[in-house]
Amino acid sequence: MNAAKKLADAIRTSLGPRGMDKMLVSANNDVTITNDGATILNKMEVTHPAAKMLVELAKSQDIAAGDGTTSVTVLCGSLLNKCIGLLERGVHPTVISDAMGRACDKACEILQSMAIPLDIDDREALIQAATTSLGSKVVAQYSNVLAPIAVDAVLKILDKERPVSVGAFPNPGTLFDATYGVRLRTSYHYIGATEIKTACSLCINCPTTRLADSGLTIFFSKSQEMVDLRDIKILRKSGGTIDDTEMVPGLILDSKSSKAAGGPTRVENAKIALIQFCISPPKTDMENSVVVSDYQQMDRILKEERNYIIGLIKKIKNSGCNVLLIQKSILRDAVTDLSLHYLAKAKILVVRDVERDDVEFIAKTLKCAPVAHVDQLTPDKLGHATLVASVQCGADKMVKITGIENMGNTVSVLCRGSNKLVIEEADRSLHDALCVIRCLVQKRFLIVGGGAPEVEVSQQLGKWGRTLSGMDAVCVKAFADALEVIPYTLAENAGLNPIEIVTELRNKHATTGNANFGINVRKGTITDILLENVVQPLLVSTSALSLATECVRMILKIDDICPVR
């Protein structure tokens, strides 16, 4: 427990908008500058098994919510500190564990009651949430550029009509929770009753709707499936500043178009083929050496190779293709100098070495099908775009495809920065902002930041704890006190007097109607944080509480470490 607590204390200084950054240096002198809790813990060499659980905790929070990784670790460390005090007083670990589970459930209920419903079409509210997430990053001064990009990117890929399963609510009065993005298709009807369209409008407007009619089959889409961040591709290019970061209207490829033999670098009215076969002479399945001593036979081999390549290119040209994206091959050269020469003669723009991981994204964007054999290359498998051109970006070149016909629900973001360290941190920060917007799609509620929810939950848990008896009351009180580590650390990292600030914050929250008062680190005082537009998704806070409590309960249950062979 002490090892895990020490690790949590190590990253406490990174919490909040005024938190410090960590410089992480690897064994081969690779440097990373960040204050993202998950990145710091992931790159640290942690050997103690209990401390490793905190690393996994931060990873879990990163997967579940994408933000709040530092908060969840600090919270876990504070809970462990309180548990050590309870154990020294002779309280049994099982009693502490059970009481903390109950306290966590109650805390999540309190947070839910504090939450502000969000309309997913309210772009300004989404930008405020993304700006709050970016406020604690190294690139916080560029939040006015990155936050709108994150919001627009997620809203563009949002799939509101993705049916993934069928549910039936046969019993009258079944609770149907629509706040998690459940949507009904209007083309289906009640059995001998009202149209589903009526229920749909009710469900979207109300937190919970009781369906009175029985025998209803519902097609619904889970909101977790409505946003897939793999549909957003972030391309990092050095040169320029973070202000130059933009969301590209089309597709960008981190590859140069081939200029061999004077091939084209710009094509209008492009017909694009994505191929997975090689335009090069075939090789034997096994490593064999063929010795040719006759010059006539050598000429014959070269002629056959040339005829083979010309045959492939004729079939490609006959399909109408004038832009060729070639997947990188690990077995042999995907394209040779000879094939590039003939492709240039055919006026086909060639982009080589497309990564295997990018094939699915490109196919989805261009609405084209990857072709594994030249005989399968037909006009219906081609993508269409107004322009494909090789453009300069800093010191490098990239291929930009614009004016794509029937473009898929994907987004390409070009992330710029002055050096590698800045670009990597901008990429991580933008990913966190994207995750925040995804959280708001999953659970459409906002809560205020600035330590206000933690103090409010602490106060209400304290009142609830006084209604309990025995050791449960003591453990719930300890849980409530542990939550105050968040406002305490925020004040400490901002250079304020933490004891004075937290005491004043408690007094504010003791009065009814002051639930939104928190620490304003810019002004160094207590203000209504909602008026300052410092908001965060409810899911980030509830996920952090649940995961931190779960981790503490797991550690509490361990009474010994036994080395094994």
Residues designated catalytic: 36, 69-70, 432
Residue count of the chain: 565
Q: Which residues contact 135 (CB under 8 A, 6 or more apart)?
A: 17, 143, 534
Q: Using alpha carbons only, what angle is made at residue 282 by residues 279 and 287, rounded to the nearest 5 degrees?
A: 135
Q: What share of the chain is helix, strand, coil (3-state, %, to 5)?
A: 50, 20, 35
Distance, in Å, from the CA atom of 127 to the CA atom of 125, rounded to the nearest integer, reads 5
Residue 47 and residue 55: Cα distance in Å, rounded? 11
Strand, coil or helix: 163: coil
Residue 349 main-chain phi, psi, to 5 deg: -75, 130
Please name the residue that has the structure tokens 């209400």: 460
Instruction: Give 109's contacts (C-beta < 8 A, 6+ positions apart).
Output: none
What SS3 class is residue 126? helix
Measure Cα distances from 377 to 268, 313, 341, 505, 553 in Å. Answer: 21, 11, 21, 68, 58
Number of Cβ within a 10 Å radius of residue 40 = 22
Supply the DSSP symbol for 239.
Answer: B
CA distance 23 to 452: 30
List Cβ neighbours of 417 (8 Å cut-off, separation of 6 or more): 236, 238, 240, 241, 242, 423, 426
Closest listed residue to residue 113, CA positions, set 541, 489, 442, 465: 541
From the list 440, 409, 443, the residue with the least C-alpha distance to 161 is 409
Spatial separation of the C-alpha atoms in residues 111 and 128, rounded to whole Å: 19
DSSP for residue 375: G
Strand partners for 144: none
Distance CA 410, CA 156 (A): 7
